[in-house]
C-alpha cells in the first residue's frame, strides 16, 4: 500500500482536479461524476491560454499525436489517478507494486509507474513506434 500521508494525497488530488477542469474534464469515463457535459461553460481567454500552456507541455510528451488526442489521453490519465485515489491504490507502481515516491507524484500525479518502470515502458513504446514507422 501507499505510504504517503493524507495531507500529501489531498494536495495531489487538488492538483489533479485543477488540471482535469483545465482540460475540460466532463467525467465521460465515469471517474468524475459531478460535472455534466451540458454544464460546461464557454472557455474564456484565460482558460484558453492555460490550455495552450498544457498542450505545449503535452507536445513534449508525445509529438506524434494530435492536440485533441493528447488532451483526451491526459484526461483519461488524470481520471484514472483520481479513481485510484478512491480505491486506495494510488501511488503504487502498476508494474512492480512498489510505492511511487510522493515527490514524483507531486510533479506527475497521473504517474502509473515508479521511475524505473516508467523508463522501461518508454523504451518499449519507443521500440513499438519505431517498428510501426517502418
Ligand atoms: Zn515500478
Tell whether the model's pLDDT for residue 122 goes beyond 60.
yes
Residue 98: count of CB within 10 angstroms of its CB: 13
How much distance in Å is there from the Cα of 1 to the middle of ligand 1?
13
For ligand 1, the distance from its centroid to the CA atom of residue 104, given in whole angstroms, is: 12
Per-residue pLDDT tens over the stretch 99-110: 999 888 888 888
CATH code of the domain occupying 6-133? 1.20.120
Question: Which residue in this structure is represented by grid cell 485543477?
Answer: 18
pLDDT at 12 over 50: yes
Cα–Cα distance between 24 and 51 in angstroms, integer? 9
Task: Tell me the residues surrounding ligand 1 (ion) with CB < 5 Å.
Answer: 93, 95-96, 114, 117
User: For the chain, give me the number of helices (H) and strands (E)?
Assistant: 5, 0
Q: How far is the CA of 95 from the centre of ligand 1 (A)?
A: 5
Residue range 25-53, pLDDT digits in tens: 765 544 444 444 444 456 677 776 776 67
For residue 61, the CA-to-ligand 1 centroid distance in Å is 20
CA distance 113 to 118: 5
Where do the domains of the chain lie?
6-133
- Which residues are within 8 A (CB) of 34 and not within 5 positions of it... i.e. 6 or more apart? 27
Q: What is the pLDDT of residues 74-117, one digit of tens each?
A: 899 899 999 999 998 899 999 999 999 988 888 888 889 999 99
pTM for the predicted model, two decimal places = 0.55
Amino acid at each position: 500500500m501507499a505510504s504517503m500521508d493524507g495531507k500529501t494525497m489531498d494536495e495531489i488530488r487538488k492538483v489533479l482536479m485543477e488540471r482535469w477542469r483545465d482540460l475540460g474534464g466532463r467525467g465521460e469515463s465515469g471517474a468524475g461524476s459531478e460535472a455534466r457535459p451540458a454544464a460546461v461553460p464557454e472557455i474564456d481567454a484565460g482558460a484558453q491560454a492555460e490550455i495552450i500552456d498544457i498542450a505545449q507541455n503535452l507536445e513534449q510528451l508525445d509529438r506524434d499525436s494530435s492536440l485533441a488526442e493528447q488532451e483526451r489521453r491526459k484526461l483519461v490519465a488524470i481520471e484514472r489517478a483520481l479513481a485510484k485515489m478512491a480505491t486506495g491504490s494510488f501511488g503504487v507502481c502498476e508494474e512492480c507494486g512498489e510505492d511511487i515516491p510522493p515527490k514524483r507524484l507531486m510533479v506527475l500525479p497521473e504517474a502509473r509507474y515508479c521511475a524505473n518502470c516508467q523508463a522501461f515502458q518508454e523504451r518499449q513504446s519507443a521500440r513499438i513506434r519505431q517498428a510501426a514507422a517502418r
